[in-house]
Amino acid sequence: MLAVKTIDEVRRVVHPAKQGGKRVGLVPTMGALHEGHLSLVHAAKSECDVVVVSIFVNPIQFGPNEDFEKYPRPIEKDLELCRQAGVDVVFYPEVQEMYPRELLTTVRVSKMTQTLCGKSRPTHFEGVTTVVTKLFNVVGPDFAYFGQKDAQQALVLRRMTADLDVPVTIRICPTIREESGLAKSSRNQYLNDDQRVQATSLSRALKEAVSLIKSGKKETSELIGAMETIIKTAGPCRIDYISVNDLETLEEVSRVQKPVVIALAVNIGPARLIDNIMVDAEGNEIIMFGRNVV
């Protein structure tokens, strides 16, 4: 495994491989790797000849009062996990390498970024789409792998590549969960034991919504009310949103009549946690790529 910190080094390694006809897969991360990230690596290895993992805590996707400074950066542990997983190249640049000058050019996807997390984090997705575009230009991957846990991010990036004719196939891989149902997240380490138990209310709420849809209840107000009750009953929290949105446009819907993403964001203790599930009009789970691992 090669671990490199500069754009030139990545290009010297990856571009000859592409010219030789090898397929390149990219797994963009902010580090603090866990089983969810590693599942993306395994997906990449299943269909690519060269797998690149980027580790970069991207400052422009954090808001002014968010956790950029305290975001975990266990780089030596991350490098060892990548080595064990069979990653070919790790790109872990410094901020100055990715943003060597004042950034005057950004990439923005409208409408889809104004719902869900975009309501409370208005600059977040522009930071994500910009840095991912830069990574695509640096690495030149054939495939890029993202987790469904960050569903809005993945769907926005899929739309960005389609709208701009970026020659990258976006793979949206299933959320990896702990035995309790809690979605794997780097921010879970902010939780104490009691808060981790409380956080399982998110996945339980999603399961309840799916059960209601399967029983014939389609009004999203009823689904949201049931989920809110489960989450608030579990303990003190601040609900950012609970929402049911069209799977293609991410517009909020009042009834489940076609594929939707049921998503929520909840602050428990020091952590802002997100989770979601994608289902069709009958409540059957939609798997974008690979198989669901619960």
Fold of 2-173: Rossmann fold (3.40.50)
Q: Which amino acid is at 51?
A: V
**Domain ranges, ordered by start, for the chain:** 2-173, 186-279
The amino acid at 61: Q
What is the CATH number assigned to the segment(s) 186-279? 3.30.1300.10
For 105, the token pair is: 């050019």
Whole-Å CA distances, 208 to 222, 258, 286: 11, 18, 16
Q: What is the pTM of this model?
A: 0.94
Q: How far apart are CA 91 and CA 25, in angstroms?
A: 13
Q: In this predicted structure, what is the pLDDT of residue 293?
A: 36
H helices present in the chain, as ranges: 7-19, 35-47, 75-85, 95-98, 117-120, 124-139, 151-163, 193-199, 201-214, 220-234
Burial of 198 from C-beta contacts in 10 A (0-12 / 13-18 / 19+): buried
Q: Which residues are catalytic?
A: 37
Identify the three-state secondary structure at position 67: coil
Per-residue pLDDT of the chain (294 residues; tens, 9 = 90+): 999 999 999 999 999 999 999 999 999 999 999 999 999 999 999 999 999 999 999 999 999 989 899 999 999 999 999 999 999 999 999 999 999 999 999 999 999 999 999 999 999 999 999 999 999 999 999 999 999 999 999 999 999 999 999 999 999 999 999 999 999 999 999 999 999 999 999 999 999 999 999 999 999 999 999 999 999 999 999 999 999 999 999 999 999 999 999 999 999 999 999 999 999 999 999 998 865 433
